[in-house]
Amino acid sequence: MKNVPDYFGSLVFDDRAMRATLPPDVYDSLKKTINEGKELDISVANVVAAAMKEWAISKGATHFTHWFQPLTGITAEKHDSFISPLPGGGVIMEFSGKELIKGEPDASSFPSGGLRATFEARGYTAWDPTSYAFIKGKTLCIPTAFCSYDGHALDKKTPLLRSMEALNKQALRILRLFGNTTAKCVRPYVGPEQEYFLVTKELYDQRPDLRFTGRTLFGAKPPRGQELEDHYFGSIKPRVEAFMQELNKELWKLGVLAKTEHNEVAPGQHEIAPIYTTANIATDHNQLVMELLQKVALKHGLVCLLHEKPFAGVNGSGKHNNWSIATDTGQNLLSPGETPYENAQFLLFLCAVIKAVDDYQDLLRLSVATAGNDHRLGANEAPPAVVSIFLGDELTAVLEAIESGTPYRGSEKTQLKLGVDVLPKFHRDNTDRNRTSPFAFTGNKFEFRMVGSSNSIACANIMLNSAVAESLKIFADTLEAAEDFEAALNELIKKTIKEHKRIIFNGNGYDESWIKEATEKRGLLNYRTTPDCMPHLLDKKNVDMLTRHGVYTYEELKSRCEIMLDNYCKTVIIEANTMVNMAKTQIAPAVETYAADVARAAASKKTLDSGISLSYETGLVRKLSALTERIAAKAEELENAVLALQNMQDVGAKSVTIRDNILNLMGELRLACDEAETLTAKSYWPFPTYADLLFCVR
């Protein structure tokens, strides 16, 4: 199969496969479950399971697994074969509806944040029919939710599905008020852009920091980084192009709508972006994208780095979460149309998003909080940690006109004149793009730019869906009780604009003056690190909202706060221990050896010619000796500080200590080692440098 349409989705039990393998009545029943949330009958599940098994076996599958997304942030799977023994020997291939619907993986070793004791091992996986099953290798993968014996969600999929249901319920209330009786459901749609770095496996294997932590913990600035700005959208190198071609093919087989690929800003950095699909499927697909990025890279002698900041001094990697909402009839509720000022329904949904982002800045910020993303946010390459909305000139002018009660004088579209007759003429968009904004409107969707490259997009979309559902609920409660719908609608839009316009900022988010204005004049939040923001998950307003819509229970929220802070602590401690080990066993010995060799060479020269000047050698030896002592002292100080953390039981207090003390000590040790790198001959340096790593893929 050479043509993409011939093999696209060939490894997915999608609608085409279901139509071809299921009886019409079973197919119709399953589609009602998928599209309308109808309960799945076990008799239907048995027929689906049999058809799914036969289809999978015809594709070479021998095993099945319930594929789920625990709170580790990655996926998990336990494989079972289809074989069942026959009397007297032999086997048959079986797969029942019960096996399709429910699995029982051991839940004892997955993070639970106290939702169950370690000795309580039972957990359940439950089939998610809204996300198609697919084949990976020789295994049929069935997307599932994951919960504890007591029914608590232990995964990222379950709260995401709950948030989608909450958004659907409240959005339909609004649509009915506008006379829309045909839409049966409203879904959030997502297109996550995925950034990543590529390095050769040969060099990667020589860097313990990359192998243990995913980022370089040491590295002096190279002579050249991204200053020339020649990598962004530049010609893709043959080796990278071959990798991208195979990646696309593997993703297309799995039905992932991989669309765009290009070089990113930093040397060795690239991006892949898909076409939009529903938030649930987009989340599943993005997990597959990250997995296949790493698998396919290895086949090409490369390693894919998904860390948010694998290299200091050059741009880090994000995952821009493009989000919109649409009906099952195809109406994008965030599309302003030709005359947004006259589109009351669009304006109300727009106001719902504005209110949601303002009211729940903290939830959006903490939804992207990790130790890795803390290095990226606010680093003049990614949005600041302050959440704000970019609307662009036209929409901002529309809202200002509504607030002031003055007529809006819409501007005509500007035709761009490029000064060359042969070039086509086209109209300029109503707004520019603002790459410095955390939450930017880009025509008919919002781009949430704060998500980190290694993050699951589930968390960000859970909070976004839930917050918008809350705004829509408040709007629906008001409008349904109003005697005069039109008057109440106009007043509601005007009131929302006035109360939440502080969150709208169309300027440069990298400017320090904006951070000052945002926090001091507008009262916006600035949670710079994970320990700053994560405890606010348990603020009363957040708990009340998320439990009111059934997205989380209080126990589930408490567990996630515990898990995320614990993950932050473990991540940084692993990095600190790696630094100590590298400094003690590789860097300090290398610097000491080089200093000794320089001293011996100087002594030899002095013996040969007593009148020769040795100021260079003497000065270098002194510097290197001083740096060796400094490295040893800083490594010991860091090691002792990490050991002291063992006595701290409270994860919140531990995370604050790490933020305020451990990270500073890590920075001091790095500074000494990076300075030593600039003075040590390359042949002595124990691992590849930044110059090697950033320009290694040719």
Rounded-to-integer distance, Cα 32 and Cα 28, Å: 6
> What pLDDT, in 10s, does the model give residues 40-64?
888 899 999 999 999 999 999 999 9
| Confidence label for 623 from pLDDT (cuts 50, 70 and 90) | very high
Q: What's the pLDDT at 36? A: 76
Q: Which residue is listed with tokens 């790493």? A: 294
Residue 319 amino acid letter: K
Distances 450 to 59, 161, 284, 386, 393 between C-alpha atoms, Å: 39, 22, 19, 10, 22
Answer yes or no: are the C-beta atoms of 65 and 111 closer than 8 Å: no
Q: Which of 167-171, 187-191, 227-231, 256-260 has the lowest mean pLDDT?
A: 227-231
The pLDDT value recorded for residue 376 is 92
Q: Give the contacts of 223 (CB within 8 A, at least 6 positions apart).
A: 691
Mean pLDDT to the nearest integer, 397-422: 69
How far CA 270 is from CA of 199, 258, 290, 315, in Å, comes to 11, 14, 13, 11
In order, the DSSP letters of 558-596 are HHHHHHHHHHHHHHHHHHHHHHHHHIIIIIHHHHHHHHH
End-to-end Cα, the chain, rounded Å: 30
**Amino acid 570: pLDDT:** 97
Give residues with Cβ within 8 angstroms of 656, minimum separation 6: 531
pLDDT at position 426: 42
Set out the domains of the chain in order of their start, with CATH numbers.
Answer: 4-155 (3.10.20.70), 160-191+329-412+421-550 (no CATH), 567-694 (1.20.120.1560)
| Average pLDDT of every residue of the chain | 91
What's the whole-number mean pLDDT along residues 632-638?
A: 98
Compute the distance between CA of residue 539 and CA of residue 561 in angstroms, rounded to an integer.
11
pLDDT of residue 427: 47
**Which helix (H) or strand (E) covers residue 47, if one does?**
helix 42-58
Range of weakest confidence among 118-132, 249-263, 368-382, 409-423 = 409-423
Q: pLDDT (tens digit, 9 = 90+) per residue, 581-612?
A: 999 999 999 999 999 999 998 888 766 566 66
- 177: number of Cβ within 10 Å: 18
Q: What is the pTM of this model?
A: 0.93
**204 in Cβ contact with 311 (< 8 Å):** no
Number of other residues whose CB lies within 10 A of the CB of residue 16: 11
Q: Is residue 454 within 8 Å of residue 372, measured between CB atoms? A: yes
Q: Which of 353, 329, 33, 348 is nearest to 181 (CA)?
A: 329
| Nearest one of 582, 594, 683, 469 to 215, comparing CA atoms | 582
Q: Return the amino acid letter for 204.
A: Y
Q: Which two tokens stand for residue 30?
A: 């399953």
Chain segment 528-561, per-residue pLDDT in tens: 999 999 999 999 999 999 999 999 999 999 999 9
